A and B are shown apart, each in its own frame.
Chain A
Amino acid sequence: MLESPFRSDGDLLRLLASGEEKAFLEFYRRYQGQVYRFALQMSGKTEVAEEVTQDVFIAVMKSGQRYDSERGSVAAFLYGIARNFVLRSLERESPYVTVLDDPAADYAARLTTEAAGEQDVFGDLARSERLDTLRKAVLALPPAYREVVVLCDLHERDYAEAASVLGCAIGTVRSRLHRARALLAEKMRAGERCAV
């Protein structure tokens, strides 16, 4: 069986704009993971992540041809759209929900279950607890700091790409990231003190 030839993002955007469903699905499968994870890490809620993912790709259906490769990568274009939807969703919600809620309890539970099956049970439990604390600390950051951590540390985007997504200067990304990491380190230290 012949493998279908690789189609560039530009080709897919053009074809989906002309109504080719296969092109749309190929484009969706190529980027849905990044968009979904970004929305989940920003909101901490699977339902928000699903809704944002859906909204982002509907926006692509409607105006994907507006993408300009000179202004950044397709991923940056999609992160930018996702960011707008996430921020809108965060604005609608109480600022306390994210911190008090335990939105990804299934995720934490999965980590715990995985850990229980391994030899170093206590070590893995400590690791999963640490990750859970870190996840909550990220979610508790103000959105302006949270988004740079999600983009630069969790999605490994460089400063230039993050600046393009956020529509700010590279220096701003750098300083926000520095501050965000300091806040996270502080929260993690506080968490460890509580655990002791």
Chain B
Amino acid sequence: MNEDRELVEALRELASNGPVEAPPRVEQRLAWEFRRMKRRRNLLTWAPGLSAAAVALALLLGTHRDLLHPHQAKPAAVRAVESAAAPVAEEEADASFYPLPEAEALPAVENAVVIRVQLPVSSLQLMGVPIGNERAGASVDADLLLGQDGLARAVRLAE
């Protein structure tokens, strides 16, 4: 009985002598991971809806395969189209597109459409488009590159 009490006391002493905290690098790694996951979650939240809306818009405007023009700067298979609602100069169609992180997991683009949409600056920043904070809170015109499946692959500032 006495031995048991001594053992428990020794265990308590052992508990109070060990390291008490994880090294700061664990917190740093987790903070980085938290930001990465938040960014990814935000993209996943808006991207499918936006893609669906874009496809609907493209169909509504009569944009179809026969209107597609060959795309110069992308790989040969990639094609771009100018949205009737928002004309985009062909030579600048992909001059500054930023690939979306989620696009890496999607099939290769065979046919693409570019549509012009209005997006909040904060969303563009999350997508990796370098745009200053001075316009945070505002919405700007952006071009969205959609693949043949209607899912967004890349984005760029239209201005």
Contacts and interface: CB of A to CB of B under 8 A. Distances in A.
- Bound pair: A and B? yes
A25 interface: yes
A124 to B, nearest CB: 12
Interface stretch (B11-19, B60-68, B96-104, B140-148): B11-19
A37 B31 contact: no
Contacts of A25: 27, 31
B3 interface: yes
User: Which applies to chain A's interface (DSSP): helix, strand, loop or mixed?
Assistant: helix
Top 4 closest pairs, chain A to chain B, by CB: A36-B22, A154-B15, A153-B11, A19-B38
Contact of A185 (B4, B12, B15, B18): B4
A177 B10 CA distance: 15
Interface residues of A, number: 40
A58 B33 contact: yes
Contact of B22 (A53, A111, A138, A184): A53
A36 B25 CA distance: 13
A111 B17 contact: yes
B31 A21 contact: yes
A138 B29 CA distance: 30
A50 interface: yes
B7 A181 contact: yes
Contacts of A181: 4, 7-8
A36 B35 CA distance: 22
11 contacts: A21-B35, A21-B38, A24-B34, A25-B31, A104-B18, A131-B14, A134-B11, A135-B14, A149-B11, A156-B15, A188-B10
Contact of B3 (A54, A62, A111, A185): A185
B26 interface: yes
Contact of B34 (A41, A46, A61, A107): A61
A19 to B, nearest CB: 5
Given A21-B31, A21-B34, A50 B23 contact: yes
Nearest to A41: B18
Contacts of A50: 22-23, 25-26
Contacts, number: 93
B117 to A, nearest CB: 23
A153 B12 contact: yes
A96 B33 CA distance: 34
A145 interface: no
B17 A185 contact: no
B33 A61 contact: yes
Interface string B19-43: 1111101110111011101100110
A172 B7 CA distance: 20
A111 B34 CA distance: 36
A33 B34 CA distance: 19
Given A37-B20, A154-B15, A185 B7 contact: yes
A32 interface: yes
Contacts of B18: 37, 40-41, 104, 107
A107 B33 contact: no
B22 A33 contact: yes
